[in-house]
Chain A
């Protein structure tokens, strides 16, 4: 009798102990479960169901529809191109801000605007580009106004871009618009990495007789490439998942996976809601791979740049 009492108390207090340890994070987990886990898993489950709720792979197979494949192709195309442009452009701008020693006023403006532009997207971005390079945009008008007298005596204005096949409301225009927030994002991400390149390393390399090219080839780029690649992946993910800008620019007439999903939510364009869920699942898989790659590369960089 006297022995069982302490045992009971300790079991109860142990439970309370554990509860006490976890109580602070319970609200968080409840919230995450309700508003994140639940909707997500529901969606993915729906990808594997048919309209009656039975398990099926039909939706996944249905992703091979030519319209859907085209959408994936265009989405990937736009994302890869903008992330490449954003990567290269952003890297050089970040270089200008850190090592390149652009004048101080330029550096400050660039950093501030990178912060602004990286968060500037969606509808306002579309409007800004329409106002600039749309059919009646400022730059369009300026270019149209550049006229030379031609040999035949008539004025020739060769820079009417819309006459020459350019359109803002398609893939090319979208690429231009996406670049607006992609390269600042690159600047923001890669600037800390460039600052992490210790001055000592450059001096040691100089001291040992290497020139600039050799330094970048053997020391700086090997140290930086995980950061650059990781940032590129992030840029890719950003472009891939974007919706609002494309919608505002093209009114939904462009083949993008996000647009397709949007149409699916609104109305039954595909004839099968579960196919929409499969589309979404496909997106998330691609994004998941992208972000995992980014995280792995981040870890690799952190080791070097922290030392």
Chain B
């Protein structure tokens, strides 16, 4: 039996559907990310779990209890806000101890718990400081343990790292994951950053315009995207219009050149043009026996640091290929004729 379930959750804001038919079962200790662009409904769904919004219809249960209409201060879920929402008039210690104080715990117990939390984030010396004296990253860590101090059943994070510098973001997200695993707490993490979602989650829910696009592990989402949206949103992708030759065999034609895909069409041809999907990193330079081979001209070469992205014009279509920037590599020049190859397994038809 799963720990957190959302069943047929719908939310409409005055005629505008914000979330449509959201379903999820999360296990105890699982880290689930809601991933999607702004306005896709991920934050609204999170806020419904927290109790700040009421679903128009549907049910939310935690540990078997129906919490759909329970007020937020009775749910025992911990929430970390995007803006940290630390109380400016209280010290760090008082902030962290707030949930315990309002629950009527003894001073000794509060003190002990606060110390424990501060040690978790290595900010023991900051007990008596005020939020404005801390950096963004430090404030976010305090916000995290403030939510954890009350021993919540579930931890909710609403884009907690979006206001921070890139480097701090990477450090902090690893720390969040470490703490989460150490405590074994079921966690829902909302983000629009796919790198965060991919690196942290046990499972990802990709959302778009209020609907769930796909639920799966990071590698499932990445390697087997089930909809065009997911394929485009997560990672880079080439989508090439092709002509169908033999659907069951997965044979198509890109201009004059033949391509075979081992993953056949996964939906009936609804009359829209078929496209060949392949990730840039699956392409290899040169000719390979037994694989798909394409010939074209180099259009542009982009230097991205550890990756070099080469754009090739094949029969009027632009294909991106990503290769590692190793020193021994021979990089073609713009205008050169160029060959690329890829496995039949690596591509699919949409």
Q: Show the binding face of A for B, using Cβ within 8 Å.
A: 198, 200-201, 203-211, 214, 218-219, 222-223, 303-304, 307
Contact of B89 among A200, A207, A222 (CB under 8 A): A222
With A203-B72, A203-B81, A219-B87 as known contacts, state yes or no: A208 contacts B132, CB within 8 Å.
no
> Which B residues touch A203, using CB under 8 A?
50, 52, 72, 79, 81, 85
Of the A-B pairs whose beta carbons lie under 8 Å apart in the complex, a sample of 17, sorted by A's number, is: A200-B81, A203-B81, A204-B86, A204-B87, A205-B73, A205-B102, A206-B73, A207-B77, A208-B73, A209-B76, A209-B102, A209-B150, A218-B98, A219-B90, A222-B90, A303-B88, A307-B132
Provide the bound-state CA to CA distance between A303 and B133, in Å: 12
The answer to whether B72 touches A200 (Cβ under 8 A) is no
With A218-B98, A223-B89, A307-B88 as known contacts, state yes or no: A209 contacts B73, CB within 8 Å.
yes
Provide the bound-state CA to CA distance between A223 and B256, in Å: 72
A306 CB to nearest B CB, Å? 10
Provide the bound-state CA to CA distance between A307 and B89, in Å: 11
The answer to whether A200 touches B76 (Cβ under 8 A) is no
B217 CB to nearest A CB, Å? 29
> Which A residues touch B99, using CB under 8 A?
208-210
Most buried by A among B72, B74, B87, B98: B87
A210 CB to nearest B CB, Å? 4
> Which B residues touch A201, using CB under 8 A?
85, 87
Interface range on chain B (Cβ under 8 Å from partner):
20 to 34
A35 CB to nearest B CB, Å? 41
Contact of B101 among A206, A218, A222, A307 (CB under 8 A): A218
Most buried by A among B78, B89, B101: B89
> Which B residues touch A219, using CB under 8 A?
87, 89-90
Which residue of the partner chain B has the closest CB to A211? B73
Instruction: Verify if B19 is at the interface (C-beta below 8 Å from A).
Output: no
Provide the bound-state CA to CA distance between A210 and B98, in Å: 8
Provide the bound-state CA to CA distance between A201 and B52, in Å: 13
> Which B residues touch A218, using CB under 8 A?
87, 90, 98, 101-102
With A203-B72, A223-B89, A304-B89 as known contacts, state yes or no: A208 contacts B131, CB within 8 Å.
no
In B35-82, the 8 Å CB interface with A consists of 50-52, 71-74, 76-79, 81
With A222-B89, A307-B131 as known contacts, state yes or no: A204 contacts B81, CB within 8 Å.
yes
> Beyond the given A204-B81, A205-B87, A206-B52, could you list 12 further A-B residue pairs with CB under 8 A, ordered by the A residue number?
A198-B85, A200-B81, A207-B72, A207-B73, A208-B73, A208-B78, A208-B99, A209-B74, A219-B89, A223-B87, A223-B89, A307-B132
> Which A residues touch B73, using CB under 8 A?
205-211
With A218-B102, A307-B131, A307-B132 as known contacts, state yes or no: A206 contacts B72, CB within 8 Å.
yes
The answer to whether B89 touches A208 (Cβ under 8 A) is no
A122 CB to nearest B CB, Å? 40
Which residue of the partner chain A has the closest CB to B50? A207
The answer to whether B85 touches A209 (Cβ under 8 A) is no
> Which B residues touch A304, using CB under 8 A?
88-89
> Which B residues touch A206, using CB under 8 A?
51-52, 71-73
Which residue of the partner chain A has the closest CB to B81? A200
Which residue of the partner chain A has the closest CB to B76? A209
Provide the bound-state CA to CA distance between A2 and B88, in Å: 65
Provide the bound-state CA to CA distance between A172 and B226, in Å: 77
Provide the bound-state CA to CA distance between A146 and B108, in Å: 63
Which residue of the partner chain B has the closest CB to A226? B89
Instruction: Verify if B304 is at the interface (C-beta below 8 Å from A).
Output: no
Provide the bound-state CA to CA distance between A229 and B140, in Å: 32
Instruction: Verify if B103 is at the interface (C-beta below 8 Å from A).
Output: yes
A267 CB to nearest B CB, Å? 54
Provide the bound-state CA to CA distance between A201 and B88, in Å: 9
> Which B residues touch A198, using CB under 8 A?
83, 85
Provide the bound-state CA to CA distance between A100 and B101, in Å: 26
Instruction: Verify if B147 is at the interface (C-beta below 8 Å from A).
Output: yes
Which residue of the partner chain B has the closest CB to A221? B89
Instruction: Verify if B146 is at the interface (C-beta below 8 Å from A).
Output: yes
The answer to whether B102 touches A214 (Cβ under 8 A) is yes
Task: Annotate B280-310 by CB proximity to A: 1 below 8 A, 0 otherwise.
Answer: 0000000000000000000000000000000
B93 CB to nearest A CB, Å? 14
Contact of A208 among B71, B83, B88, B146 (CB under 8 A): B146
A100 CB to nearest B CB, Å? 19
Provide the bound-state CA to CA distance between A186 and B339, in Å: 76
Most buried by B among A200, A205, A206, A209: A209
> Which B residues touch A208, using CB under 8 A?
73, 78, 98-99, 102, 146-147, 150
